[in-house]
Structure 1
Amino acid sequence: MIWLLFERLALNTSLIITLAYLVSKTKTFKKTLRGKASRKDMVLLICVFGAMGIAGTYTGIEIKGALANSRVVGVVAAGLLGGPIMGLGAGLVAGLHRVLLGGFTALSCGVATMIEGLFAGYIGLKFRHKRIKWQQSLIVGIVAEIIQMIVILAISRPFTQAWDLVQVIGLPMITMNGIGISIFIGVVQTALEEEEQIAALQAQKALQIANQTLTILRLGLNEKTALQVAQIIFDQTDMAAVALTDREKILAHVGKASDHHKSGMVIQTRATWLALESGGLKLAESREEIGCREPKCPLSAALVVPLRVGSQIIGALKIYREHGQKISPVDWEFGAGLGMLFSTQLEVAELEARAQLVAKAELRALQAQINPHFLFNAINTIVSFCRTDAEKARKLLIQLGDFFRKNLQSGDKFVTLQEECEHVRSYLAIEQARFSDRLKVEEKIEETALSCRLPGLTLQPLVENALKHGVYPGKGQGVIQILASLEPENLVIQVKDNGVGISKEKLEQLRNGVKISTTGLGIGVQNVAQRLKYAYHDQACFTIDSTQGEGTCVTLTIPRQFSVE
């Protein structure tokens, strides 16, 4: 009898595991695991996991007036994955159903199911920010089933009948349901990990393409640059075809159907017109929606991604699939990400073009230029947190976007010290995530100084210079200090580091205005000094002091009452 129980419970568990895989593919379930589920989502999943428990009950084996079943698998999994509320909710659904079926263990099994769901939920809380291992979920499953056996003995009467039942079903249910819960959790997490890996690979691929197209799109969007970009995307992906348009015509088409989808043709696809008009991604799911009049055209689906420069839509990126294929969610995310990167690059190109027309002290150097090495480091840092700390990865992505947005917006205007500090914090958030305890940042800024105005992109280059050339080449923990205070007539800002310092010879060159080549995203200390001199008509003061082996201090003294209009 015991071996028969093992066999039947194994079959029952396989059904629950199959359901687990299907549930793990739903958007509602994924939102729940990321802590973003609404009340409606929670109620729905409680019903789903409760239904799994009910399915486990119905597939049970009747023994000695009771049921040996796998009801606990769905309930405990709900708790481990969704927390106490979901665990208790699924336990209530499955437990009340068991009570209604009757039998001398009906009440005890119903109560035990609720307790097991709640118990698993509190265990799940401890693993909210990390993945629970299969060994841990196995132990939780075993303990949950032991709890059920104890409750049966405590509540069911007559006790002798309950004891006889537990002797028969105890070992098979504890063993097989524990294994079932472990496999359930493993299946769900494996499915999610695979999805995250695919997303990470797509992000890396998009970044590699963006790196290759960086110098091309800096020349703007025209037929020549569009052809080069489309060819790079086509070579790097498995798309059937890639196209780029402006607001009226096709600039380039590479891949299948290029014999009749040609540059210079007026845009045919209605989805493209809608994307250009609305600014949102649009999907064409058939050859008719693509708008091709060629009967043998192999293209069957297309995703249209608008390209922006600021608030203006200047064109679109189009990726195609051929017959028998559709635009997948992965394709959608890839296209959306690539469109954002291209839009940023095009905006940089636009800003650089504008800078050439402005006779200000090296305004061109003020425009933010996406550094592929910084982007690669940032995206790799974020990818590394995707599996271990999804919330931190989300926050870093926000910081990265905020950093580039401020880079693009603040180079040619005056901003408040508060805005400039926020820009620096966005940059430092990525660097601190990369270097963890190696980097410490201290801010001592008077609150009254935050409303003072200064040229945009003044502090970030100094902080970047301190990191790259001061802190990182050194050993031990690096410390960056950002200090700001108000004097009667001046705003005084200092950026200090405890890095390797600057040699006397190089320091003398810097003080004499001799440019020393540097690398990185910033425009360097010399450009900051020149811009301050130009902006404040020699009324601002820029000083740099350094001791080799001890650190560097850059001091900005800016007149408070100077007009910046």
Structure 2
Amino acid sequence: MLVLSMIERLGIIVTVAFVLTRVSFFRRLLDQQAVIDRRQQLWLVIIFGCFGIIGTYMGLVINPIENSIERWTRVLGEDEAIANSRVLGIVVAGLLGGWKIGVSAGIIAGVHRIFLGGFTGIACGVATIIAGVIAGIVAKRQQKDGMVTPQVAFIVGGAAEAVQMLVILAVAKPFDKAMALVQDIGLSMIAANALGTALFILIIRSVVQEEEKMGAVQSQKALRIANSTLIHMRKGLTGVSASAVCAILYKEIPSLAVSITDRDHILSHIGKGEDHHRPAHDIRTEATRKVIENGQGMTVGKKAIQCNEKNCPLHAAVIVPLKQQEVTVGTLKVYFQSVRDISPIMMELIQGLSTLLSQQLEIAEGEKHRALAKELEIKALQAQVSPHFLFNAMNTIVSLIRTNPAHARKLLIALSSFFRQNLAGSTKSFSTLKEEVDHVKSYLSIEEARFQDRLNVLYDLDEEALSATVPSMTLQPLVENSIKHGLKSKLGDGVLQLSIQQKDSFVQVMVQDNGAGIPKERLQQLMTQQVESESGTGIGLYNVNERLKKMLSENAALNIRSSAGEGTSITFKITKNQPNIIEGAG
């Protein structure tokens, strides 16, 4: 009967445990990384000390001589003791707060028990302090494994009560009376306090785990939003990107509407009120301007929304800034029915979205700069190609001015045409293959004059394929490479062939010569680095290959086949209607 009577009174444990989980700094005890300051420690000592005192008053007065039980504690007589749940509160204090809080709470509850009197007063008071020590030691060893489990709490609660029974036997006098008391209440108190301690910890863990579960759900939602919005926000803060992002957020966040603005205008508004909160309208809300000015989010009610529409359903909103490099460039606004609908978890989610979207805008800015840097790099690669031909052309023309002025004049016209095309090519990123072929023909008219009868040029051109686009100044360096490194040392019968053919869904371009060929070890280096040569800088093939890959795709890379003494074939393939990879080129 005694154990059932004590278990009946565990209802107060459930109530206290639930109330404590509502106290923010109490929940910090459950975070192994949290730092509890002295003021919070003092409050916890007082709370658990009082909990121990309540456990004493809720106990049952036992008289082992008269074999009687009374329901409510009063000042005890010399023959009376208390069957109570005092140790429960002290053990929980030690398990959650460590030995300092456990012992301090034990001193409060223990001293109070001593002053109640009874032949077990001193023994029970000392045992209460010892319970705090035991729980604190166990808690310290459990820190690596996280929060104490209900199973551990059950064992510690029972063990602490068992220690109290031993202290009563060792300290309380007379011994016969102490033994009779322990026989009457020992097992019941051990069982009840073990069960109560485990129940207390179980309730706390359940509440905390529920909060952690809610946090995990919010984290998953944030990650899902991040994956969905990145593709849009990386294009910058525009009406199109804002509209797409608002649609995603409106679907994911339980709200009446979602809006995004820049510093001056509404970019998009999705949800309730979109009939009068329209894109391109000027920002009218003073609160929105304030967020833009100070970069701090805020929650506003219906009056602060400042909507002129009488029946507007938007009565509350959270407004947070969108930033680039710490400068506010716009706002995210999430609307609700009332301020009461904006929970702390919702506020945290919206603040997180503000940070997330701001970081995505930073990514957009970074990608914009990388694209500009890439375009500048490509322009630099193009500019490196032309000096090779210029020096050779001038030498050839100089040699002909006295011996054959008419031919020299034709070559000057060809050179003028070449550089006119060269200049046009350096100011745009892409050219058609027809423009590239005209460029090459101007170049070869000069080279044929320089080589005289030692160079024979063949063209195999599919007119339908010439409309395909390639990076400007792609063919001329390939042709120049064949002449300069393949045919220059050939004594006669040098053949250079340029072939452009339509092959199903792609166009194949080939520059082939019957020159000296490329050594195997040198061939392996040509496409991966600039290779120095006796007659040049080694940048021609490398740069063309890099531009094809950067501006078209990896599949457009050069394919070189060569063997010593048997010539070289350089081939690349492109899609017929290849889109310009760099936006704004031209």
> Normalised by the shorter chain, which TM-score bucket?
0.5 to 0.7
Specify the alignment match of 1:347 in structure 2.
362
Measure, in 1, the Cα distance between the counterparts of 2:99 and 2:334: 44
Write out per-residue CA displacement over residues 73-104 of structure 1, whole angstroms, 9 at most, x where no aligned residue. 22111111111112112212222222232222
Measure, in 2, the Cα distance between the counterparts of 1:237 and 1:512: 51
Q: CA deviation at 1:178?
A: 0.5
For structure 1, the residue ranges without an aligned partner over 5 or more in a row are 364-504, 515-525, 531-565
Is the 1:146–1:174 contact (alpha carbons within 8 Å) kept by the matching residues of 2?
A: yes
Specify the alignment match of 1:106 in structure 2.
121
Q: CA deviation at 1:302?
A: 2.4
Specify the alignment match of 1:37 in structure 2.
36
- Whether 2:309 is the aligned partner of 1:310: answer no
- Whether 2:257 is the aligned partner of 1:258: answer no
Correspondence 1:155-170 to 2 at 5 A: 155-170=171-186
- Whether 2:39 is the aligned partner of 1:24: answer no
Write out per-residue CA displacement over residues 417-475 of structure 1, whole angstroms, 9 at most, x where no aligned residue. xxxxxxxxxxxxxxxxxxxxxxxxxxxxxxxxxxxxxxxxxxxxxxxxxxxxxxxxxxx
Choose which of 257, 260, 275 in structure 1 pairs with 2:291: 275
Q: CA deviation at 1:293?
A: 4.5
Write out per-residue CA displacement over residues 346-373 of structure 1, whole angstroms, 9 at most, x where no aligned residue. 011112223344465489xxxxxxxxxx
- Whether 2:236 is the aligned partner of 1:220: answer yes
Write out per-residue CA displacement over residues 288-335 of structure 1, whole angstroms, 9 at most, x where no aligned residue. 344445454433432222111111111122223324842112112211
Specify the alignment match of 1:115 in structure 2.
130
Choose which of 183, 193, 207 in structure 1 pairs with 2:209: 193
Which SS does the other structure have where 1:299 is aligned?
Answer: coil
Write out per-residue CA displacement over residues 253-287 of structure 1, whole angstroms, 9 at most, x where no aligned residue. 22223333333344454543443233233222x32
Closer/same/farther in 2, CA of residues 128 and 220 from structure 1, 3 Å limit: same
Correspondence 1:458-537 to 2 at 5 A: 512-513=527-528
Closer/same/farther in 2, CA of residues 181 and 347 from structure 1, 3 Å limit: same
Closer/same/farther in 2, CA of residues 103 and 320 from structure 1, 3 Å limit: farther
Specify the alignment match of 1:245 in structure 2.
261
Is the 1:274–1:282 contact (alpha carbons within 8 Å) kept by the matching residues of 2?
A: no
Q: CA deviation at 1:111?
A: 1.3
Letter in 2 for 1:207: L
Specify the alignment match of 2:96 in structure 1.
81
Measure, in 2, the Cα distance between the counterparts of 1:122 and 1:99: 25
Measure, in 2, the Cα distance between the counterparts of 1:135 and 1:174: 15
Specify the alignment match of 1:441 in structure 2.
none
Q: CA deviation at 1:71?
A: 1.4
Closer/same/farther in 2, CA of residues 200 and 95 from structure 1, 3 Å limit: same
Measure, in 2, the Cα distance between the counterparts of 1:336 and 1:165: 61
Letter in 2 for 1:84: W
Is the 1:230–1:253 contact (alpha carbons within 8 Å) kept by the matching residues of 2?
A: yes
Measure, in 2, the Cα distance between the counterparts of 1:299 and 1:88: 54
- Percent identity, aligned pairs only, is 41
Letter in 1 for 2:62: I
Measure, in 2, the Cα distance between the counterparts of 1:68 and 1:171: 11
Specify the alignment match of 1:8 in structure 2.
5
Q: CA deviation at 1:225?
A: 1.4
Closer/same/farther in 2, CA of residues 81 and 314 from structure 1, 3 Å limit: same
Specify the alignment match of 2:191 in structure 1.
175
Equivalent residue pairs, number: 371
Specify the alignment match of 2:508 in structure 1.
none
Closer/same/farther in 2, CA of residues 8 and 270 from structure 1, 3 Å limit: farther
Specify the alignment match of 1:546 in structure 2.
none
Is the 1:88–1:115 contact (alpha carbons within 8 Å) kept by the matching residues of 2?
A: yes
Specify the alignment match of 1:475 in structure 2.
none
Measure, in 2, the Cα distance between the counterparts of 1:7 and 1:244: 62
Q: CA deviation at 1:213?
A: 0.7
Measure, in 1, the Cα distance between the counterparts of 2:114 and 2:193: 20
Measure, in 2, the Cα distance between the counterparts of 1:139 and 1:74: 15
Q: CA deviation at 1:141?
A: 0.9
Measure, in 2, the Cα distance between the counterparts of 1:362 and 1:95: 82
Which SS does the other structure have where 1:104 is aligned?
Answer: coil
Letter in 1 for 2:138: I
Measure, in 1, the Cα distance between the counterparts of 2:310 and 2:193: 57
Specify the alignment match of 2:488 in structure 1.
none
- Whether 2:143 is the aligned partner of 1:128: answer yes
Is the 1:83–1:125 contact (alpha carbons within 8 Å) kept by the matching residues of 2?
A: yes
Closer/same/farther in 2, CA of residues 267 and 174 from structure 1, 3 Å limit: farther
Q: CA deviation at 1:227?
A: 1.5
Letter in 1 for 2:352: G
Which SS does the other structure have where 2:143 is aligned?
Answer: coil
Measure, in 2, the Cα distance between the counterparts of 1:97 and 1:168: 24
TM-score, normalised relative to structure 1: 0.61
Which SS does the other structure have where 1:243 is aligned?
Answer: strand
Closer/same/farther in 2, CA of residues 178 and 315 from structure 1, 3 Å limit: same
Q: CA deviation at 1:217?
A: 0.4
Closer/same/farther in 2, CA of residues 75 and 273 from structure 1, 3 Å limit: farther
Letter in 1 for 2:98: G
Measure, in 1, the Cα distance between the counterparts of 2:127 and 2:275: 69
Q: Which has the larger radius of gyration?
A: 2
Specify the alignment match of 1:390 in structure 2.
none
Specify the alignment match of 1:48 in structure 2.
47
Choose which of 84, 89, 97 in structure 2 pairs with 1:69: 84
**RMSD of the alignment, in Å?**
2.8
Closer/same/farther in 2, CA of residues 262 and 45 from structure 1, 3 Å limit: farther
